[in-house]
Amino acid sequence: HYTYMSYSSFSSSSSGAFSLSGGRQLVGGGMTRISTAGTFKNRTPSVYGGAGGFGTRISQSTMLSGLGSYDDTSVITNEKVTMQNLNDRLASYLEKVRSLESANRKLELQIREFYERRAPTASRDYSAYFATISDLQAKVPLTLCLENQGVLLQMDNAQLAADDFKMKYQMEMTMRTTVEADVLRLRGVRDSLTLNISDLELQIESLKEELVYMKSTHKEEMSQVRVQQSGAVNVDVDSAESVDLTKVLQEVREQYEAVVVKNKLELDKWFQSKVRWESLNIYKSDITSWTVEVKTSHSELSELKRTYQSLEINRQSLQCLQQNLEEVKSRYGSQLSQLQITINMLEVELQQLIASIEQQQADYKLLLDIKMRLELEIAEYRRLLEGEHVEKKGKLCGSLKSVRSSSGDHECFNFNQ
């Protein structure tokens, strides 16, 4: 660190023109130079100061002047004053330099201590241990990588085996469905063949019945012919040779059995070829369907990932909402408790009001009952009073009638109350 301090120049207008040029002081390893220059004949003093005030010297240089001669005593006096002033200023500057150097040393010490605290402390030589650690670190990832690769290969093999078994299972299922369909179709063919066989058996039965009928008719005709021949009648009949029906039926049966065997062989061949062709088609269709399913599964997986992310975002938002709800509940819990207390008080007052209303209703019913009884009693009293009045009125009318009958006047006066 270097601190530059400039010196102000000054001049003396006495017998010689004396000037102090602006110099620089380098603190902490620099050089202090104070030089003077004059236009007079004698030597010009100059002061050189080292860093910290060490190696300071004052030198004089001679310089010829062309401006005239001056008095030596005045020049010497001025030089002494100037040198004294310069020495005083130099001492003050050197004191400042020492103080600044001490401050710099303190700062450097503090900086060094700070970096020493931050820097790791010097320890023993662990290079051998570090080499061993690096070797172990180089070996451990290799073994781990090999183990991981082995595990990944096992997982891939297991996945491939599972996929292979799945494909085989699906192929077997498709073959099973196709075989079941073929079996159902062949069952229909078998049913149709059984129907044909039953029809042929019915035809054979009908032919047997016809054969029996023809035999019976033949016997009757032969008997008639014999009777006619016994009557000496010779009749020559040219008839075709008789046909052996059993032989014909046997030939027909053999032909149908040969047709059945032929149809069976053809059906077996067709079934085998159909199964092979269907299996090839199934393999091709399964491969295409599997590729399509793989693509669809990849798309579904990506869609599920997106849905999972959206659901995760929704879950986080719901969790935030739940936290906010809990905060609101905790915030308004006291208010809710106060409101609950108020509600309980109002419920108590409501129950009291209901009880008082029921009491007033009971009193009202009681008073209404009393009123009805009083009205009944008043009506009874009125009826009784009206009955007494009628009786009195009847008695009065009877007495008047008796008076009128005695006087010959049969009028009866009505008295109104």
Tens-level pLDDT at each residue, the chain (417 residues):
333 343 333 333 333 333 343 444 333 333 434 443 333 434 444 444 444 444 444 444 434 334 444 455 666 677 788 888 888 888 888 898 898 889 888 888 988 888 777 765 555 666 777 787 777 777 766 667 777 778 888 888 888 888 888 888 888 888 888 888 888 888 888 888 888 888 888 888 888 888 888 888 888 888 887 777 665 445 454 444 555 667 777 787 788 788 878 887 887 787 777 767 766 666 666 667 777 777 777 778 878 888 888 888 888 878 888 787 777 777 777 777 888 888 889 888 888 888 888 888 888 889 889 889 888 988 888 888 887 666 666 666 666 565 555 544 444 444 443
Give helix 333-407 / helix 245-331 axis angle, nearest 10°: 100
Q: What is the pTM of this model?
A: 0.23
34 and 58 Cβ atoms separated by less than 8 Å: no
Residues 6+ apart with CB under 8 A from 183: none
Task: Annotate 149-173 with b (16+ C-beta within 10 A) or e (fewer).
Answer: eeeeeeeeeeeeeeeeeeeeeeeee
Closest by CA to 8, choosing from 85, 98, 81, 101, is: 85
Chain mean position to CA 137: 39
Q: How many C-beta neighbours within 10 Å does residue 12 have?
A: 16
